[in-house]
Amino acid sequence: MEATSEHEPASIWRHALKDLELQMSPADFRTWFSATELASCDGPVCTVQIENPMTKGWLDSKCKPLVARTLRDLLGRSVDVEFAVRSPRGVSARPATLELEAPPGAR
């Protein structure tokens, strides 16, 4: 990679996605990689954020070596890949408290 901006996670992931798209069927690529992003790639671990646990399971079992190899080729160093389910946007980390009213006549 030539430019410093090329080391930003979003730029690295754009390049990786282009390479991954060439290595798999269009349907698989759209299904499993359309809503992914590279959260970080510091040191030996690159973390890819994904939408849900089902996607995580499939990517872990079917695509982890492919993604690691693709990132290794782009970065020029070996990396471990972790897939992490991202929290839905706008959802707080603390679960909501359920408040129930007493049934009529229970007061």
Q: Is the pLDDT of residue 89 over 80?
A: no
Q: How confident is the model at residue 16 (pLDDT cuts 50, 70, 90)?
A: very high
**9-40 residues labelled b (16+ CB within 10 A) or e (exposed):** bebbbebbbeebeeebeeeeeeebbeebebee
Residue 107: per-residue pLDDT: 59
pLDDT in tens, 49-69: 999 999 999 999 999 999 999
Residue 10: per-residue pLDDT: 94
Q: Is the pLDDT of residue 101 over 50?
A: yes
Residue 88: per-residue pLDDT: 72
- The arithmetic mean of pLDDT across residues 16-27, rounded, is 96
